[in-house]
Amino acid sequence: MSSEPISLDKALASFDALWSPRIITSVNDYDVRVAKVEGEHIWHAHDDTDEFFLVLEGELRISLREPAGERTVLLPRGAVFTVPRGTEHRPYAPSGAAILLFEPTGTPTVGDRHGEVPDHVDATTGHALGG
C-alpha cells in the first residue's frame, strides 16, 4: 500500500488492458481496484460478497438476474451501484468506461460460478498497479 496519494487519472493512464483490474490500494481486507472496460463481461455471481461499482469515465450498464426477473441498471459517470451478494450479473460498456471496484481481497473478477472464461476476460483477482 502506498503512503502517498494516488491519482486515479495516472493509475488509469498506466495500463490499456480491458477487464483487467489494477489494485490501487487496500482498505482493511478489501481491494480498491480500477479497470477499463468495453464490450461485455460475462454473467457471474459472487456468493459471499457484494460488489461495489463507481463509474469514473463513460457509462456502465449492469444486467441483473433477480427473483423478480431480469433488469439492467444504467450507471453514468459519477454513479455508484452495489450488486448484492449472490446476484447473477453481467457488466457491459458499449462505448467503454473506467470504473472503480471495492471488494474483498482475492475476489475473482469472474465470480464464483462460471463456465469457460472468454479470452477477453482476465480472470484474476487484480494486478498490482504498474504490473
Condensed to tens digits (0 to 9), the pLDDT of residues 39-91 reads 999 899 999 999 999 999 999 999 999 999 999 999 999 999 999 999 999 99
- pLDDT tens for each residue of 18-51: 999 999 999 999 999 999 999 999 899 999 999 9
Rounded Cα distance between 55 and 46, Å, is 20
Q: Are β-strands 127-128 and 69-76 bridged in parallel, bridged antiparallel, or unpaired?
A: unpaired
Rounded Cα distance between 17 and 1, Å, is 22
Q: pLDDT band at residue 114, thresholds of 50, 70 and 90?
A: low
Task: Find how far residue 15's CA is from the centre of its chain.
Answer: 15
User: Which amino acid is present at 4?
Assistant: E
Q: Indicate the pTM of the whole model.
A: 0.91
8-128 is a CATH 2.60.120.10 domain = yes
